[in-house]
């Protein structure tokens, strides 16, 4: 099938850009002596995961147990579920362990650590990372919290007898790197991220507790961190695709964004200087993360159907469920209505690709031309 | 299966509330002498559609052609696709017509009307509504626009020979009722909605063009419009479920919201007075529509697991992809951490139910108790 025949809205993945993004991050992590355990919460695709893990251990990170089951069914055998585990989800983790997977979960709670240690029927056991809050202020304990040693002890230690749990290591996510205004700020957050997990690992070592892994991860800090000394693995994810927000952060250029939404013009409002497209709130998401950046792209930037030429000065200014409203950023500019009749096709570069991609069950993969060279499926749900 | 055993996040539909909402709107439309052609863009469910159409013609409204195909496969034979049609989508409409469906599309363009009239192989033909902008400022022409007559003529009129198109009527959507602060304001918008389509219908009549249907639709204007004289059908949708935004608008009470997200506490941050749940941006959406209302519910209101008791003073203050962050509205209030350990279950009443429901492939239907009495599927994609 051809891109020009594809129904809209559809998700279009540019393979050369994807490959370049993956190669760059993989090379950087190799150069830093860090294993790349890519986070597949963005891509949720086995095809993408095979490319992203190629030069590393093959281990991946996921954000839901539905992803874990999907990747397990697609041959991935070493999976870390990176969202704090609730005890009621442990039977699903145990089932994956019984299938021979090397599964790890994350916790910041002594009570949950005890539950993991008591989980029945989980094969060779469940790996556990202790979540450290390095400044994001979401999940985790501070590296100096007394709970650190208590959690490790509740697991039974890494060489326990009788416990289903073994301590895999310490784990953090510098999500606050997304709030940085400059690369210099990202470098500072990256160093704080590293120091937090190193401090936690050191405290475990001082208590005589083995801590094999020191795991960090966010695309900006993986891209710009100056030192990874002491870090064993990194878990960035969005770098594979990038998006307008990552451009705004300084993590990539526009021509390194691999994912766009193909859309069709479905209305012209010359009286309102506005164009209507069939990519609305469901097709693009309501994410507004660039609102806090120097360039607010609204709900997305506008490109021609090839994805190569940006229609300067335009953005998706508003979205309703199935309508996107394209307006000029500068009110005095005019939309080129004669070039964009109803039926014209455009590509929208999304604000936040994790949210946008989640609306689709597949990628239409292109190689720069009009030919669709593949349809790659995506996991969804929980 | 029991609600208490259901994995989280999951979408929970309260059938008694759904039934009451449907009955109330259906009765109101019957009382006003208006056919209810419910919009299924919110529910995207054949089970819900069967309830919603029970006392009316059986016709429905949809927002995507994927919905049209889904409802056709589930026995619905009279479907209006309510988003401006792009010519490239006409073959899919024609295929539904060939299957014997009574299909209608919407346009505000002379060029598109010509394309519809030329569509080959579409059985008994495609019904067409002319879209009128009654003040929303999105799709449509003004009721006084010269294009009104030109579009009708481009279709070939309702008794044309040779044309695939027949004029079904005029059509508007008072989406700007969502911006109203009071019921009195909604009443004014409802009257403007009615007057706009009546004016367009009158102009067509004066031009000797038959206009069988005069179609309006939004949940607030259907609920509060004082007169429907001259209106033949209404297309509200969100009234079936309601949400926190509809509560804020004055369209319903909290105990008339039929849809919630079941979630689990996955973290406690006593140091930050914050609770983490496993319903984040994908499970709730990033919709922030209540930000403009008197009560800003953040990303949702917090209820106990039964869905009956609101945890006053709490809201989902922030969402990341798979994390929701519950915080008190008033900083000086304390989260009752001892009552909400990791593993505790809650129900979140969403900001905007159309966006939230779209993340799920099914409803878990309850009758007030712990028993799940049904799993109802949902259409998705385009």
pLDDT tens, position by position, A207-238: 999 999 999 999 999 999 999 999 999 999 99
Task: Give buried/exposed letters for A23-39 (b at 16+ CB in 10 A, else e).
Answer: eebbebbeebebbbbbb
Residues 284-313 of A with CB under 8 A from B: 285-288
Give CA B4 to chain center in angstroms: 29
Strands A60-62 and B10-14: unpaired
Which residues does chain A have within 8 Å of residue B287's beta carbon, measured at their own beta carbons?
Answer: 281, 286
- Tell me the pLDDT tens digit for each residue of A164-183: 999 999 999 999 999 999 99
> Minimal CA–CA distance to B361: which of A280, A261, A358?
A358
Q: Is residue A123 within 8 angstroms of chain B, CB to CB?
A: no
CATH code for the part of the protein at B15-238: 3.20.20.10
- Rounded distance, CA A344 to CA A179, Å? 36
CA distances from B320 to A137, A196, B278 (A): 12, 21, 10
The torsion defined by the Cα of A341, A347, A349 and A353, in degrees rounded to 10, comes to: 130
Phi, psi of A283, rounded to the nearest 5 degrees:
-80, -25
Q: Do B86 and A264 touch (CB under 8 A)?
A: yes
Place of tokens 């594809």: A6
Q: Determine the CATH number of domain A15-241.
A: 3.20.20.10
B362-366 vs B10-14, strand pairing mode: parallel
Asked if B342 lies within 8 A of A283 by C-beta distance, the reply is no
User: In A, which residues are within 8 Å of B84 by CB distance?
Assistant: 266-267, 276, 342
What pLDDT was estimated at residue A156? 86
Contact B10 A268 (CB under 8 A): no
Contacts of B265 in chain A (CB under 8 A): 86
Asked whether the beta carbons of residue B108 and residue A267 sit closer than 8 angstroms, the reply is yes
Q: At what angle do helices B90-98 and B65-73 cross, to 10 degrees?
A: 10
Of A92, A175, A325, nearest to B320 by CB-CB distance is A175
B254-376 CATH fold? Lyase, Ornithine Decarboxylase; Chain A, domain 1 (2.40.37)
Residue A325 touches partner B, C-beta closer than 8 Å: yes
B323–A139 C-beta distance less than 8 A: yes
Nearest CA in chain A to B108: A267
Report the distance separating Cα B240 and Cα B220, nearest Å: 12
Residues of B in contact with A7 (CB under 8 A): 88-89, 92, 382
Instruction: Inspect the interface and report whether the beta carbons of B361 and A380 lie closer than 8 Å.
Output: yes
Strand, helix or coil at B62?
strand
Hey, is the C-beta of B132 within 8 angstroms of any chain A C-beta?
A: no
Q: Do A108 and B267 touch (CB under 8 A)?
A: yes
Separation CA B82–CA A322 (nearest Å): 10
* CA-to-CA dists, residue A92 to A38, A67, A96, B1, B163, angstroms: 22, 12, 7, 17, 58
For the packed helices B183-206 and B147-155, what is the interaxial angle rounded to 10 degrees?
Answer: 60
Q: Would an 8 Å CB–CB cutoff place B135 in contact with chain A?
A: no
Any idea where the domains of chain A sit in the sequence?
A: 15-241, 252-377
Strands (E), A200-299: 213-216, 233-234, 259-269, 274-277
- A 10 A CB-CB count for B206 gives 9
Residue A187 C-alpha, separation from nearest chain B C-alpha, in angstroms: 22
- What is the ipTM metric for this complex? 0.97
> What is A252-377's CATH topology?
Lyase, Ornithine Decarboxylase; Chain A, domain 1 (2.40.37)
The DSSP result for B170-191, as a single string, is EEE--GGGGG-SSHHHHHHHHH
Q: Are A196 and A174 in contact (CB under 8 A)?
A: no
Check CB contact of B343 with chain A, cutoff 8 Å: yes
Measured between alpha carbons, how far is A235 from B46 in angstroms, rounded to an integer? 41
Q: Collect all residues of chain B within an 8 Å Cβ-Cβ radius of residue A265.
A: 86
Tokens 């953005």 correspond to what residue? A315
Considering only CB atoms, B286 lies closest to which of A264, A320, A355, namely: A355
Digit-coded pLDDT (tens) for A265-294? 999 999 999 999 999 999 999 999 999 999
Which residues of chain B from 5 to 44 reach within 8 Å of chain A, CB to CB?
Answer: 7-10, 41
Q: How far is residue B132's CA from residue B173's CA, in Å, rounded to a whole number?
A: 8
User: Across the beta sheet with A233-234, what order do the strands follow?
Assistant: A35-36, A233-234, A213-216, A165-172, A126-132, A102-107, A78-81, A60-62
Kindly report the number of other CB atoms within 10 A of residue A9's CB atom. 26
Which residue on chain B is closest to A356 by alpha carbon?
B282
Q: What span, in angstroms and rounded, lies between the C-alpha atoms of A371 and A367?
A: 7
**SS3 call for B301:** strand
Tens-digit pLDDT string for chain B (382 aa): 999 999 999 999 999 999 999 999 999 999 999 999 999 999 999 999 999 999 899 999 999 999 999 999 999 999 999 999 999 999 999 999 999 999 999 999 999 999 999 999 999 999 999 999 999 999 999 999 999 999 999 998 445 568 999 999 999 999 999 999 999 999 999 999 999 999 999 999 999 999 999 999 999 999 999 999 999 999 999 999 999 999 999 999 999 999 999 999 999 999 999 999 999 999 999 999 999 999 999 999 999 999 999 999 999 999 999 999 999 999 999 999 999 999 999 999 999 999 999 999 999 999 989 999 999 999 999 9
Contacts of B188 (CB under 8 A, 6+ apart): none
């Amino acid at each position: 099938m051809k891109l020009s025949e594809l129904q809209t809205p559809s998700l279009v993945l540019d393979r050369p850009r994807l490959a370049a993004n993956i190669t760059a991050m993989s090379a950087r992590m190799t150069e830093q002596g860090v294993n790349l355990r890519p986070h597949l919460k963005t891509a949720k695709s086995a095809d993408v995961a095979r490319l992203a893990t190629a030069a590393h251990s093959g281990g991946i990170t996921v954000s839901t147990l539905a992803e874990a089951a999907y990747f397990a069914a697609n041959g991935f055998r070493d999976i870390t579920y990176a969202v704090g585990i609730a005890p009621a989800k442990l039977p699903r983790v145990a089932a994956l362990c019984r299938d021979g997977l090397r599964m790890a979960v994350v916790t910041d709670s002594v009570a949950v650590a005890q539950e993991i240690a008591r989980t029945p029927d989980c094969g060779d056991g469940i790996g556990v990372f202790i979540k450290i809050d390095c400044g994001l202020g979401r999940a985790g304990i501070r590296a100096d919290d007394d709970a650190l040693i208590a959690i490790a002890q509740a697991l039974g230690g890494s060489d326990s007898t009788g416990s289903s749990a073994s301590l895999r290591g310490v784990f953090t996510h510098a999500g606050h790197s997304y709030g940085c205004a400059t690369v210099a700020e990202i470098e500072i957050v990256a160093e704080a991220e590293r120091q937090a997990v190193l401090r936690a690992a050191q405290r475990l070592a001082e208590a005589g507790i083995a801590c094999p892994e020191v795991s960090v991860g966010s695309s900006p800090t993986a891209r710009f961190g100056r030192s990874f000394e002491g870090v064993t693995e990194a878990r960035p994810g969005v770098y594979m695709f990038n998006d307008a927000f990552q451009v705004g952060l300084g993590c990539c250029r526009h021509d390194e964004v691999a994912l766009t939404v193909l859309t069709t013009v479905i209305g012209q409002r010359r009286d309102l200087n506005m164009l209507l497209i069939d990519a609305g709130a469901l097709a693009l998401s309501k994410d507004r993360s660039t609102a806090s950046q120097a360039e607010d792209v609204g709900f997305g930037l506008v490109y021609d159907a090839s994805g190569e030429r940006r229609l300067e000065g335009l953005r998706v200014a508003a979205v309703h469920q199935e309508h996107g409203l394209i307006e000029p950023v500068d009110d005095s500019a005019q939309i080129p209505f004669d070039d964009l009749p109803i039926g014209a096709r455009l590509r929208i570069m999304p604000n936040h690709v994790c949210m946008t991609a989640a609306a689709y069950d597949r990628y239409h993969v292109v190689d720069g031309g009009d030919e669709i060279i593949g349809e790659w499926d995506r996991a969804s749900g929980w």
